[in-house]
């Protein structure tokens, strides 16, 4: 057999990569993650279309797409924070986890991983609280009475429409990080043994 024939035979063999992305197992997670996927897909397409339209209008038609930045910010917040919530579910957030790489299996590693999940949950809960305050400020106005609700300059879009995804995304992140903490606690206290 020639080298080219060997290469062709090797390429025919497909080994499916091992995925570390969590798969939804219950109805709640299936509904939520599918909703997240739809929202992220729609927002990504919408952002691409609006930015493309603005580019064509500005550089080809030499016109301005009035106030498109206001829409871009709102759609981007929906994309980023709902995507972050999905990342929390899937366990696919980018992290420089030195514990996984350099600490040997054992009690210390399980303790450090549990501590990491506790700190992650604590920080996320703090930001969720701030996200609620941020949303409520946009929804009820600076006086909390519903009068003088902050709006965008050009299109007069209520700012709470951009603040809502921050609170929703952080709330779901807190929820999924809580379950990560529970799993890490079970691993810590059972000595790393699974069912």
Q: How confident is the chain (195 residues) per 10-residue block, as mean pLDDT?
A: 54 69 90 97 98 94 91 97 96 78 86 94 98 94 86 93 98 97 94 69
Contact predicate 107/117, CB 8 Å = no
Domain-located, residue 59: yes
So what's the pLDDT on residue 117? 94
Give CA–CA dist 23/94, Å, rounded.
18
Domain-located, residue 12: no
Domain-located, residue 194: no
So what's the pLDDT on residue 139? 93
So what's the pLDDT on residue 16? 72
Q: In the chain, how many domains are there? A: 1
> Could you tell me the pTM of the whole model?
0.84
Q: What is the three-class DSSP state of 146?
A: coil
The number of residues making up the chain comes to: 195
Domain-located, residue 134: yes
Domain that holds residue 172: 26-189
CA 93 to chain centre: 8
The vertex-31 CA angle with 30 and 36, nearest 5°, equals: 100
Q: Report pLDDT digits (tens) over 32-79.
A: 999 999 999 999 999 999 999 999 999 999 998 889 999 999 999 999
Domain-located, residue 21: no
So what's the pLDDT on residue 12? 62
Domain-located, residue 48: yes
What are the C-alpha distances in Å from 10 to residues 13, 14, 15, 87, 138? Answer: 6, 8, 11, 34, 59
So what's the pLDDT on residue 5? 54
Domain-located, residue 132: yes
Domain-located, residue 75: yes
So what's the pLDDT on residue 98? 77
């Amino acid at each position: 057999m020639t080298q080219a024939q060997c290469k062709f035979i090797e390429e025919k063999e497909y080994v499916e990569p091992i995925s570390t992305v969590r798969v939804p197992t219950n109805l709640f997670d299936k509904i939520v993650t599918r909703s997240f996927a739809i929202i992220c897909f729609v927002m990504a397409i919408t952002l691409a279309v609006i930015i493309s339209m603005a580019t064509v209008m500005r550089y080809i038609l030499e016109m301005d797409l009035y106030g498109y930045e206001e829409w871009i910010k709102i759609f981007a917040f929906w994309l980023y924070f709902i995507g972050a919530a999905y990342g929390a579910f899937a366990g696919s957030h980018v992290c420089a986890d030195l514990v996984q790489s350099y600490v040997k299996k054992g009690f210390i590693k399980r303790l450090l991983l549990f501590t990491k999940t506790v700190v992650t949950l604590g920080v996320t809960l703090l930001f969720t609280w701030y996200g609620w305050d941020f949303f409520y400020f946009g929804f009820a106005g600076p006086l909390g009475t519903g009068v003088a609700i902050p709006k965008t300059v050009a299109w007069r879009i209520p700012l709470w429409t951009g603040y809502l995804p921050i609170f929703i995304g952080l709330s779901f992140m807190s929820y999924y990080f809580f379950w990560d903490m529970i799993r890490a606690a079970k691993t810590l206290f059972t000595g790393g043994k699974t069912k």
